[in-house]
Structure formats: structure tokens, C-alpha cells
Amino acid sequence: MEIRVLGIGCARCNELEKRVKDALAELGIAANVEHVTDLKEIAALGVLMTPGLVIDGKVASQGKVPSKDELKKLLGGGK
């Protein structure tokens, strides 16, 4: 699974990255988590609000930090 966290270095974006990693660990999924800060890439994905979460090329959430349970659902459903 390819996971990308979109953000330009704000506190909420770092919080999202941390929660994603926690959720992955609890699910026992090995995935590559990348933190994207390049504006062109963020815009190209159509994300206007950071933090954004992209799972396997699809925007899963934007503008919010989902709870760990929500993240587990998002991450588990992409298998």
C-alpha cells in the first residue's frame, strides 16, 4: 500500500502522520508512508485543505485529522 500524507509542515499534518503510523501498526499492515510538502503535487491531487491523506493514489480525506478508528477503516478497506 502506498500512503501519502499531504501537508506543508503544520502541526495537524504531523499529527495525521503519527496517527496513520499508529493505525498501521495496530492493523499489522506494512506500508510506505510518505509526507508530501511539494505544493505542485498537493494541488495536482486536487487537495485544497491540508492535511490530506492519499491512499494508493486516491484522496481519502482532507482538511481534517480523522480519529484512529476512522483511519483503520480507511486503511483496512484499501486492501
| Catalytic positions, written as ranges | 10, 13
Q: What is the SS3 assignment for 56-69?
A: CCEEEEECCCCCHH
Distance CA 67, CA 45 (A): 23
Q: How far is the CB of 79 from another protein (least distance, A)?
A: 19
Residues 6+ apart with CB under 8 A from 40: none
- Residue window 29-48: x/- pattern of binding to another protein, with contact defined by CB under 8 A: ----------xx-xxxxxxx
30 vs 43 by CB, closer to another protein = 43
Residue 18 as a binder of another protein (CB under 8 A): the answer is: no
